[in-house]
Amino acid sequence: MAPHATPLAASTKAKDYVIATMGSHSALQILKGARDEGMRNLVICKKGSERPYKAYDVADEYLFVDDWKQWDAKIESELIKRNAIIIPHGSFVSYLGHKRVQEMKPMYYGTKEILEWESDRTMEREWLLKAKLLLPRVFKKPEDIDGPVIVKFHGAGGGFGYFVATSPKQFYEVKNRKYPDDNDFVIQEYIVGSPVYVHYFYSPITGELEIMGMDKRYESNADSIGRIRAEDQLAANIFTSYTIVGNFPIVVRESLLPEMFEMGDRVVAESRKLKAGKGLFGPFCLEMIITRKLQMFVFEISARIVAGTNPFIEGSPYTALKYDVPMSTGRRIAREIKQAIEMGRLSEILG
């Protein structure tokens, strides 16, 4: 494709832009969503990982890298030439890191600065506390453990390597045996309840906060331990781990929705007070455990599309209420971008 004549972000025609994303995580629905909204798309693949995009024929164009470390000025200039708008997702942020993302030159959907707030556990906690969300307790040192805790290593993407302990002794047993040299972790109160990941979308264009859907994760081996007898679990000396394998759709009891909307509102409002560019907008997710008393403990925020939206490529029960077409989060992003382009407001949603 020839370099585009239109200066970056100046055209008000959606066909002058390309929706681009990295081939992983939630790329299938992002690419399909762009097409459904009548926009062109592009996927950047690590060589050898392009098969799903080809098999499902969702992409108009491919760019390839040998390795994500090879994400460099050359790739960026290819994207700039095409007037591409990058859609970040979980793999994108975790492979490149928020510092690399900050320096990126092509158009980028979302607020880059917010990624630092979600990836630093201390900053994230400060933000969520200010938004008056209920959070699990954090233990400063292993000696303080006085009940069930979940130990989370930093940068342990997708729950890999997390473990549960109930006493300082048990903590050190696992830590010293499995992670003797890794001291970058947080010890969080383990909340007994149902995990629910609520997918939100906040649009600065319409000024509206939407709940797009909800999921729970399918995790190994947390979701398989219950398949064997308690005696066998003990005999096999299994430690619970949370490596993510997939996602299930969820619908919550309707009476929980008002509070969920308000929690989303407060997180968006507080994000504007952080020193984080335009604050939080677009897709985000509050990851919570709901207890038997229906208290909602939020243990994490993801400030971008989450893979838990993937079961809803054809829309969710919630988006079915609002839209007359199947509305995935990927498609909602494309619609937002298209509307912003046509209204001459694209710069408001670029980071």
Where do contacts with ligand ATP occur on this chain (CB under 6 A)?
90, 136, 150, 156-159, 162, 188-191, 195, 217, 219, 242, 287, 289, 299-300, 302
Looking at the Cβ atoms of 82 and 217, the one nearer to ligand ATP is 217
Residue 196 CB, nearest distance to ligand ATP (Å)? 9
Residue 158 CB, nearest distance to ligand ATP (Å)? 5
Looking at the Cβ atoms of 60 and 120, the one nearer to ligand ATP is 120
Looking at the Cβ atoms of 50 and 223, the one nearer to ligand ATP is 223
Residue 329 CB, nearest distance to ligand ATP (Å)? 15
Residue 247 CB, nearest distance to ligand ATP (Å)? 11
Is residue 27 classed exposed, middle or buried when 0-12, 13-18 and 19+ CB atoms within 10 A define those classes?
Answer: buried
Q: Mapping DSSP to helix (H, G, I), strand (E, B) and coil, where does residue 167 land? A: coil
Residue 334 CB, nearest distance to ligand ATP (Å)? 23
Q: Mapping DSSP to helix (H, G, I), strand (E, B) and coil, where does residue 44 land? A: strand
- Characterize 262-291 residue by residue with b for buried, 16 or more Cβ atoms within 10 angstroms of its Cβ, and e for exposed: ebbeebbebbeebebebbbbbbbbbbbbbe
Please, which residues bridge with residue 296 across strands? 290
Residue 318 CB, nearest distance to ligand ATP (Å)? 21
Residue 169 CB, nearest distance to ligand ATP (Å)? 20
Number of C-alpha atoms within 13 angstroms, CB side, residue 97?
8
Looking at the Cβ atoms of 189 and 210, the one nearer to ligand ATP is 189
C-beta of residue 63 within 8 angstroms of C-beta of residue 75: yes
Looking at the Cβ atoms of 149 and 337, the one nearer to ligand ATP is 149
CA angle 321, 324, 329 (to 5 degrees): 75
Determine phi and psi for 202, rounding to 5 degrees. Answer: -110, 125
Tokens of 229: 């007898």
Looking at the Cβ atoms of 71 and 242, the one nearer to ligand ATP is 242
Tokens 């219950």 appear where?
Answer: 226
CA angle 140, 145, 150 (to 5 degrees): 85
DSSP class per residue in 119-141: HSHHHHHHHHHHTT-B---EESS
Looking at the Cβ atoms of 62 and 160, the one nearer to ligand ATP is 160
